[in-house]
Amino acid sequence: MTEANSGSDVLRPITIAGALDALGGGRQIMAGATWLMRAPVRGEAPPKAAVLIGSIPELQQISIGQDQVTLGAGVTHTKLAEALAGVPALKGLVTAASRAANPPIRAVATLGGNLCTAAFAAGDLSPQLLALDARVTYATKDGTQDMDMSQFLAARGNLSGGLLTRVRIPLGNFRSAHARLPLRKAGDYPVAIVSARMDQNESLMRRVRIAVGSVEATPRRWSGLEAALEGQPYDLKAIADSAGSLTNEFTGRDGVEADGWYRTKVLPALVRQVFEDLSMQFAERP
């Protein structure tokens, strides 16, 4: 027996295979439930039948190796931030996980729930994982699919009947940073996010990755700015100027918490913030 049935419309599997078997019949995966239980606030019906995935040990695993970090999809924001606090390359991810939302939400909201909520544009973890070249594993009854973050974000609205099981992040000598702009009228949600990762070699910026979240409906890489900075010497003013001249790569979404034009307008300041942070991290690098 691999499953404990905790009610006619709620199943609590203890294996990934059990969870995949339990999906169907209109049941929805429920992790921390911080998004699902606010369905009425969004004018949506709450789920009538659920598959609770919090008792699957594999989804709670965190493995920190020489070359790669692997995170189970059920890891909460709080646990993620605690576990990775000693990994210098992933400071940006630790910042994202420890600044998102508020402490009670972070204690239960999971990595998988944050990445799988296609309707939520303001997620902190997706842009950071884009910048870190992370890959995700999505399991269905037909097998598992390995996707990079861009592929996953493009596909996630159409994925069903499966389970995000883990996220893998390659490690290296790079550094990462995360900047977000919350406004009081936006509650805990950031109106714009910039995540970045880079290496520094002979004072030149290398392997630059920059991703933007909350500005458009889906986070994505800022490819024009990455290309403009790659191989250039670190110069904070030049970096911010380049960002200022390339914000037209984005079309900000209008929302109750901020107009679209405002979301793009603040991007150069957020870029400046992440590159200042990166510079300080390189100054401290042994």
- Residue type at 77? H
Sheet holding 143-148, edge to edge: 62-64, 68-72, 163-170, 135-140, 143-148
**Orientation of helix 91-99 relative to helix 267-284, angle to 10°:** 130
**Pattern 246-275, ligand FAD, x by CB under 6 A:** ------------------------------
**Pattern 29-68, ligand FAD, x by CB under 6 A:** xxxxxxxx-x------------------------------
Which member of 18, 113, 127, 252 binds ligand FAD (CB under 6 A)? 113
Number of alpha carbons in the 13 Å side-chain half-sphere of residue 166:
18
Does 9 help bind ligand FAD (rule: CB under 6 A)?
no
Q: How many residues bind ligand FAD, per CB under 6 A?
A: 30
Closer residue to ligand FAD, CB minimum distance, 28 or 63: 28
Does 87 help bind ligand FAD (rule: CB under 6 A)?
no
Of 87-95, 187-195, 235-243, 250-258, which segment contacts ligand FAD by CB under 6 A? Answer: 187-195
Which member of 13, 18, 92, 112 binds ligand FAD (CB under 6 A)? 112
Which member of 95, 98, 110, 281 binds ligand FAD (CB under 6 A)? 110
DSSP, residue by residue, 44-73: -PPPSSEEE-TT-GGGG-EEE-SSEEEEET
Which member of 28, 144, 173, 245 binds ligand FAD (CB under 6 A)? 28
Give the tokens for residue 252: 């900000």
**109 CB neighbour count, 10 Å cutoff:** 24
Phi then psi for 237, rounded to 5 degrees? -65, -45
